[in-house]
A and B are shown apart, each in its own frame.
Chain A
Amino acid sequence: MIQNKIMCSISTKGRYFTTLPLAISAVISQTKKIDKLIIFDDNDNPQDMRKENVYSHLFQIMDIKGIEWEWLFANKKGQHHNHQMANIQGFPWVWRIDDDTIPDPCVLEILSSYISNEIGAIGGAVLTPPVQFENSNPTGLIDNIYHEPNIQWANIKTVQDVDHLHCTFLYRAGITDYNLGLSKVAHREETLFTYGLKQKGYRVIVVPDAITWHLKSPTGGIRSDDVKGLFEHDEKIFQNTVNLKDRTIVVLNNGMGDHVVFKHVLPDLKNPLVFSCYPDILPGRSIHEAKELFGDIEQYNIYRKMDEWQWTDSLENAYRKLYTNDNN
């Protein structure tokens, strides 16, 4: 069914000759075949890996299996930029895995078996040997994120609704954006993203029997950079988002007429917090303040969203799609 087509995305940095080929091999060995694989190459000195024997074989295997694949040299802005590109490729579902993870062969088949109209993201266990946290019983709620291990760090015994996911998961694409205001270390990027799906009214769940092995490494990925200040920057954005989680954030960084049209949507929003260019038309806090709080406000750019959606309906209804849970 076309509506369930799945693209796999891997963002990679510093792992050409360690775990990346293992991850690719695991993806193409899934019992449920993906429809496309995109590898976003964020290496400082990207190479043409077709010249490498192992990669050459992996690419040929994908060709033989009929798996479309693409290798993109990315902008080195951090993996959240790459994931956002994957998010808007036009596939309804994206399975993101890290370049240091190895999903068991059945993972995608299990995750995708939970796809339904109400589901936004599905995650399995992400285990790092030796396995810890088996008796921790975390809730997966955003309010408990500082007080409990991530629910995916241990075997998952039953299907459970959570607020956020980590590392690798299957998600409904094009619903919410990755926060591109995060630094290049992209700390909490997947937490913010999956929580965004939840805020859009979709269920985010963890499911049993879908284990991905996380071969954590002291090198490669975001650990390649000097990161302390960047982590703090990203953590601040995360905290601001969580602190305002009960508000519907509205950012009107556009024209006066757009503000007038939006006024007709505002009464339908739950507990709105408005940031406005024209407070005489629609009272609100400043756009500068929105940038300070959330890092990136492009996700609220109604013109970019209409372009992305290939919109043909009214501006008013575009606002409704962006700010309410009307996902039609």
Chain B
Amino acid sequence: MLIGSYTQMIIISPYAKTYVNGQTNPKNYPYWQELIPLINEPIVQVGVKDEKPLVNDFRPNLTLAQLEKLVKECRTWISCDSFLQHFCWDLGKPGIVLWGQSDPLIYGHPENINLLKDRTYLYHNQFLSWDLIPMRSDCFVQPATVVDALSQFSQCQK
């Protein structure tokens, strides 16, 4: 169900690119189901058609103009290492990026809160196609860490 526009809401972008070989993208954060109930704010999920909706308000295949409008309306956003983090950076809208095996020092932006569990989990070769790299869940931060960052982020924004 679409809820329309909010005065305050969080955008989530749970999934990185889907691979033709069917492999789960190792950049995908594995704990969204646990994280979402901990966020006590309206949430809008963005992505592409055929991705699994995690909240009621899923808006797939937005045009760049529509996405830009939404980003400008949101309080902040949470994303895996995917297009949204770059897009929001370009718009000057900071948010939270959930890192696993890709390196925020290479692919991230310091304007965001970059949650990386530990650099020892980074894949040894950062420049391969990610469909060649196996998914592992243990390399991501737990949902409580994300919620904590979100509250810190709120304080920073005040």
CB pair A256–B127 under 8 Å, yes or no, is no
Q: Is B106 an interface residue (CB 8 A)?
A: yes
User: Which residues B72-105 have CB closer than 8 A to chain A?
Assistant: 82-83, 85-87, 89-90, 105
Which of chain B's residues has its CB closest to A303's CB? B127
Contact partners of B128 in chain A: CB under 8 A: 307
Establish whether residues A255 and B127, one from each chain, have CB atoms under 8 Å apart when the complex forms. no
What 4 additional pairs, Cβ within 8 angstroms, besides A257-B85, A260-B87, A307-B127? A255-B17, A261-B86, A306-B126, A315-B106
B47-89 CB contacts (< 8 Å) to partner A: 64, 82-83, 85-87, 89
What is the number of residues of chain A that contact chain B, defined by CB distance less than 8 Å? 20
Q: How far is the CB of B108 from chain A (nearest CB, A)?
A: 8
A260 adjacent to B105 (CB under 8 Å)? no
Nearest B residue to A262, CB-CB: B86
Interface range on chain B (Cβ under 8 Å from partner)? 10 to 19
Q: Which residues of A contact B105 (CB under 8 A)?
A: 312-314
Lowest 5 A-B CB distances belong to which pairs?
A257-B86, A307-B127, A260-B86, A257-B83, A303-B127
Residues of A within 8 A of B (CB): 255-258, 260-261, 263-264, 280-281, 303-304, 306-307, 311-315, 318
Q: Is the CB of A257 within 8 A of B125?
A: no
Residue B32 interfacial (CB < 8 Å): no
Q: Min CB distance, B123 to chain A, in Å? A: 12
Interface of B is mostly: helix
Smallest CB separation, B28 vs chain A (Å): 15
Chain A residues with CB under 8 Å of B85's CB are 257
Q: Which residue of A lies closest to B89 (CB)?
A: A260
How close is B70's CB to chain A, nearest CB, in angstroms?
Answer: 16
CB distance from B103 to the nearest CB of A (A): 8
| In the complex, residue of chain A having the shortest beta-carbon distance to the beta carbon of B85 | A257
| Between-chain CB contacts (< 8 Å), 24 pairs | A256-B83, A257-B85, A257-B86, A257-B107, A260-B83, A260-B86, A261-B86, A263-B90, A264-B90, A281-B64, A303-B127, A304-B127, A306-B106, A306-B126, A307-B125, A307-B127, A307-B128, A312-B105, A312-B106, A313-B105, A313-B106, A314-B105, A314-B107, A315-B106
